């Protein structure tokens, strides 16, 4: 855990005295760097890591048409492409069983707040093609879309989908579309525009991982990463597959026997799911309460900084099964934050929610699921989630789901997911040696009205650099996402030290520090 790891670090390291040269010098170049783990903290005192939840904006898309007026689900994707904001979501009509067949739908926006459902002319709904439906879908397949920068134009959009060899719409089960050409499992759709999709015939993974699986292209390594539901250790977890080609069968440990959900849980499903065939990316640990799973993943490789991967899982603590509770497979879910430097292993940033459940009269009071993707508008990151007013299993007691669920917006400051926070009494930290490019040092921080920050540059052994000491530093205050640090009343040129190992030392009081960057 980040918190326990860093608390131990902070308890054993002090700022007094000089530092021996570190064995490794980090090259940060002119790339933006985030504070969410101890990569840039070698010594610290009086500071702590603080989860920085976003601000709820409220619903931005609800089921207003006959084909989506039942449930707008928590499975979806948002992408910016060519200055256009795009959203894919799954929904069902208010008719039939509560888990009626779902459809993949589409919406667009110019500002990320007002979303329009265009008439696509692609799908025949009760004799008309004047709708925003793309195709029949499982409940969660709207969350598997991503833009592939390596693909040819005809395949630049990809949709990761779990398909069944036969259509399944049984009471109490997750409906599945029965169009799998080569057996149940994971397949890819490809598209030139995100609207017209072609199912690729290769089954890339011979298991049914269940809810909201996704993939992305990792430009750090030139690989693709697929994040899938696994059932290792009798719990819902997130596994990861790394591959050079998403369209060909994925690697997995074939020595592990496939198992059904019924073999591992009290549930009767005979679906064969992955367990330990692929590596763990994230799951419950000793700090989680008993009877807890982690649903979904919603991983984003943060595009505006280096080596920052964020996962937004929905923790699911189970209510007791009937007759102790009213419904089976039931419980509440909010959204948490897990962080990683490589996208392969994630750690929880906090046990407090990143997006908390709404109050008892709110539309999002029961179960929340993050949509995949982020949109940026100026100094804010827009994120979206599916908010429901029922707990996980509660739909079973509702004969008709009408106008339930919806897409909600939250606003996060750019880089602002986790902060290194100085206490009211003040705190300080020192980085390991860094080499940089550029002539200015810029910070993303919030000191508001009463807080302050001071910055000092030191050589690799910890000696302050002349002219760049705490005494020389112009006090930083207020709330800024990209403030240049200056010394000696406005002098901010640090270019003479570019390419040489330096340490950054920071004193901060009643302030949060999110990111730093050297650049011209």
Indicate the helix (H) or strand (E) that contains 6: helix 2-12
| In contact, 490 and 474? CB cutoff 8 Å | yes
Give the Cα separation of 455 and 469 in Å (integer). 7
* 55-415 has the same fold as 2-52+419-519: no
Mean pLDDT, residues 89-110 taken together = 83
Give the Cα separation of 11 and 7 in Å (integer). 6
pLDDT confidence band for 140 (50 / 70 / 90): confident
What integer best gives the mean pLDDT of the chain? 89
Q: What is the pLDDT of residue 401?
A: 73
Q: What is the pLDDT of residue 99?
A: 57
When mean pLDDT is compared across 153-167, 247-261, 345-359, 481-495, the lowest value belongs to: 247-261
Q: What is the pLDDT of residue 5?
A: 43
Q: What is the DSSP letter of 52?
A: -
CATH 1.25.10.10 applies to domain 55-415: no
Most confident by average pLDDT, 11-15, 71-75, 491-495: 491-495
pLDDT confidence band for 302 (50 / 70 / 90): very high
Give the Cα separation of 353 and 351 in Å (integer). 6
Residues of the chain with pLDDT > 90: what percent?
71
- Angstrom CA distances, 29 to 53, 63, 442, stand at 29, 47, 13
Radius of gyration of the chain (CA): 24
Q: Where are the domains of the chain?
A: 2-52+419-519, 55-415
Mean pLDDT, residues 323-329 taken together = 84
When mean pLDDT is compared across 38-52, 281-295, 365-379, the lowest value belongs to: 281-295
pLDDT at 267 over 70: no
Mean pLDDT, residues 208-228 taken together = 94
Fold of 2-52+419-519: Jelly Rolls (2.60.120)
Most confident by average pLDDT, 86-95, 247-256, 494-503: 494-503
Q: In residues, how long is the chain?
A: 520
pLDDT confidence band for 173 (50 / 70 / 90): low
Q: What is the pLDDT of residue 327?
A: 82
Give the Cα separation of 209 and 207 in Å (integer). 6
Q: What is the pLDDT of residue 7?
A: 40
- Angstrom CA distances, 413 to 52, 152, 375, 382, 478, stand at 9, 34, 12, 9, 15
pLDDT confidence band for 172 (50 / 70 / 90): very low
Q: What is the pLDDT of residue 83?
A: 92
Q: What is the pLDDT of residue 8?
A: 40
When mean pLDDT is compared across 87-101, 309-323, 379-393, 453-467, the lowest value belongs to: 87-101
- Angstrom CA distances, 42 to 54, 338, 431, 505, stand at 28, 22, 5, 10
Label residues 245-257 b or e (16+ Cβ within 10 Å = b). Answer: ebbeebebeeeee
Q: What is the pLDDT of residue 419?
A: 98
Check residues 62 and 70 and name the one with the higher pLDDT. 62
pLDDT confidence band for 399 (50 / 70 / 90): low
């Amino acid at each position: 855990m980040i918190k326990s790891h860093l608390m131990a670090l902070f308890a054993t390291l002090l700022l007094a005295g000089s530092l021996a040269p570190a064995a490794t010098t980090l090259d940060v170049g002119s790339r933006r760097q985030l504070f969410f783990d101890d990569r840039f903290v070698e010594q610290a005192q009086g500071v702590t890591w603080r989860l920085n939840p976003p601000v709820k904006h409220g619903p931005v898309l609800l089921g207003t048409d006959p084909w989506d007026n039942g449930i707008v689900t928590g499975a979806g994707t948002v992408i910016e492409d060519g200055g256009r904001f795009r959203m894919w979501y799954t929904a069902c009509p208010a008719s039939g069983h509560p888990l009626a067949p779902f459809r993949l739908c589409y919406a667009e926006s110019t500002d990320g707040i007002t979303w329009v459902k265009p008439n696509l002319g692609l799908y025949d709904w009760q004799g008309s093609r004047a709708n925003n439906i793309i195709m029949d879908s499982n409940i969660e397949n709207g969350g598997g879309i991503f833009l592939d920068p390596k693909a040819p134009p005809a395949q630049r959009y990809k949709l990761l989908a779990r398909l069944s060899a036969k259509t399944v719409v049984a009471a109490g089960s997750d409906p599945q579309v029965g169009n799998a050409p080569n057996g149940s499992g994971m397949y890819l759709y490809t598209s030139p525009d995100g609207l017209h999709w072609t199912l690729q015939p290769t089954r890339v993974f011979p298991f049914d991982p269940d809810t909201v699986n996704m993939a992305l292209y990792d430009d750090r390594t030139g690989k693709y990463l697929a994040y899938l539901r696994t059932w290792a250790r009798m719990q819902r977890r997130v596994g990861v597959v790394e591959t050079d080609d998403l369209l060909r069968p994925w690697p997995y440990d074939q020595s592990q026997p496939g198992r059904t959900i019924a073999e591992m849980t009290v549930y009767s499903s005979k679906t064969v799911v992955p367990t330990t065939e692929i590596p763990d990316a994230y799951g419950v640990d000793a700090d989680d309460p008993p009877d807890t799973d982690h649903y979904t993943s919603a991983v984003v490789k943060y595009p505006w900084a280096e080596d920052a991967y964020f996962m937004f899982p929905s923790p699911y603590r189970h209510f007791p099964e009937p007759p102790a509770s009213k419904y089976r497979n039931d419980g509440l879910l909010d959204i948490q934050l897990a962080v990683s430097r490589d996208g392969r292993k994630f750690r929880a940033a906090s046990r407090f929610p990143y997006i908390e459940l709404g109050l008892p009269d709110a539309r999002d009071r029961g179960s929340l699921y993050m949509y995949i993707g982020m949109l940026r508008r100026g100094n804010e990151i827009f994120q979206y989630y599916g908010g429901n007013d029922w707990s996980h299993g509660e739909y079973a007691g509702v004969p008709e789901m009408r106008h339930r669920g919806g897409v909600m917006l939250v606003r996060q400051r750019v880089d602002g997911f986790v902060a290194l926070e100085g206490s009211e009494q003040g705190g300080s930290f020192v980085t390991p040696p860094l080499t940089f490019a550029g002539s200015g040092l810029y910070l993303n921080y919030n000191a508001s009205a009463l807080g302050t920050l001071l910055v000092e540059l030191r050589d690799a052994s910890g000696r302050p650099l002349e002219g760049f000491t705490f005494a020389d530093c112009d006090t930083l205050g207020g709330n800024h996402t990209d403030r240049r640090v200056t010394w000696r009343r406005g002098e901010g040129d640090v270019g003479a030290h570019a390419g040489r190992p330096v340490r950054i030392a920071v004193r901060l009081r009643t302030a949060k520090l999110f990111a730093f960057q050297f650049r011209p």
